[in-house]
């Protein structure tokens, strides 16, 4: 099988590429990424085995070429981050909504490879219903969430209009090796790890009691890989999380315990667009992927911290 990954130089994308190359059912992997948020260094270990295209998904010719001959396309390219979308809503729309449309058009021209696309739990937004079930009313509260809702809608429309096989996956707070801090839109787990390694207090937006369904990146890649090989399709969104609830402060406490560091917290104002609580109803996911195995929070954090150790952050931050 031939697979094309958009955004393959990003955090999730690079982890996925690494797993795909070790799957005997996958014969070739093409990556298209403009490296506006990803880095080609993430793919260094696998670079010789990848057909890498440094290009934007907003370039229709580049996307068409990258998708040609693919049996499956995994669409991960996006401008992530709720805060980024609030600061730059037009850029988020172009990259996420228009970019998805370009990928869909390329797939349609390529006679319909399976298209798996990343959506987000942020589409549930202000809806207080828990757990988050796919039939819940979507109430997005950020431009980013709207772009992901558009992604889902476009996939459903192309399935209905053109018969394109699709699978929109709603991702929940993915974490793991390869996710870096050091930029304004960094996710909370790498920020916490980096701060604690440096002996600095962590910054928590709000009171820290907000809960999330933290999902280890290897599990996400496992599901996507199974979807490719087994050709799992659904015109309806599928949650990719398992119904666990851990607060931001619980995560911080686990990290401090694993590192053997004292936890010092500085609370800041809540961020616009953030929701108080979010965890998934995994019933649809379990029905489609009954063999999927999960990674617990503590194990996932330990593996993530081990990756930070491999980077040399401990010696660099404590010297």
Q: What is the pLDDT of residues 211-255, one digit of tens each?
A: 999 999 999 999 999 999 999 999 999 999 999 999 999 999 999
- Among the residue ranges 87-91, 226-230, 234-238, 269-273, the one predicted with the least confidence is 269-273
Q: How far apart are CA 18 and CA 312, in angstroms?
A: 21
For the question of whether the overall pTM of this predicted structure is more than 0.85, the answer is: yes
Looking at per-residue pLDDT, the higher value among 152 and 181 belongs to 152
Residue 175: beta bridge partners? 216
Note the pLDDT of residue 312. 67
| CA nearest to 246, candidates 277, 206, 275 | 277
| Structural domains of the chain ordered from first start | 2-172+214-240 (3.40.50.720), 175-212+243-281+290-318 (3.90.25.10)
Note the pLDDT of residue 45. 86
Percent of the chain scored above 70 by pLDDT? 96
Residues 108-123 have pLDDT tens digits of: 999 889 999 999 999 9
Asked if residue 83 has pLDDT above 90, the reply is no
Note the pLDDT of residue 315. 34
* Residues with Cβ within 8 Å of residue 292, at least 6 apart in sequence: 219, 222, 223, 226, 285, 286
| CA nearest to 27, candidates 77, 68, 72 | 72
């Amino acid at each position: 099988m031939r697979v094309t990954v958009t955004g393959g130089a990003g955090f999730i994308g690079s982890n996925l590429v690494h797993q795909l190359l070790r799957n005997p059912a996958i014969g070739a992997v093409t990556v298209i990424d403009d490296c506006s948020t990803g880095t080609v260094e993430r793919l260094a270990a696998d670079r010789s085995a990848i057909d890498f295209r440094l290009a934007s998904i907003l370039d229709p010719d580049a996307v068409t070429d990258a998708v040609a001959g693919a049996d499956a396309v995994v669409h991960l390219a996006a401008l992530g981050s709720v805060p980024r979308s609030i600061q730059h809503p037009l850029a988020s729309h172009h990259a996420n909504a228009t970019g998805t449309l370009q990928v869909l058009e390329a797939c349609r021209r390529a006679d319909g490879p399976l298209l798996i696309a990343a959506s987000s739990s942020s589409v549930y937004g202000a809806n207080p219903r828990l757990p988050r079930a796919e039939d819940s009313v979507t109430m997005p509260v950020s431009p980013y969430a709207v772009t992901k809702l558009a992604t889902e809608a476009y996939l459903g429309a192309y399935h209905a209009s053109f018969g394109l096989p699709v699978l929109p996956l709603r991702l929940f707070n993915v974490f793991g090796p390869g996710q870096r801090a050091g930029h304004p839109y960094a996710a909370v787990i790498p920020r916490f790890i980096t701060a604690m390694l440096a002996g600095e207090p962590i910054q928590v937006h709000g009171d820290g009691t907000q809960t999330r369904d933290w999902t280890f990146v290897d599990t996400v890649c496992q599901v996507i890989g199974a979807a490719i090989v087994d050709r799992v399709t659904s015109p309806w969104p599928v949650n990719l999380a398992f119904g666990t609830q851990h607060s931001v402060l619980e995560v911080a406490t686990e990290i401090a315990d694993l590192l053997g560091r004292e936890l010092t917290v500085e609370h800041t104002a809540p961020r616009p667009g953030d929701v108080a609580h979010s965890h998934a109803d995994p019933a649809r996911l379990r029905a489609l992927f009954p063999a999927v195995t999960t990674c617990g929070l503590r194990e996932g954090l330990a593996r993530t911290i081990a990756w930070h150790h491999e980077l040399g952050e401990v010696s660099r931050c404590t010297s």
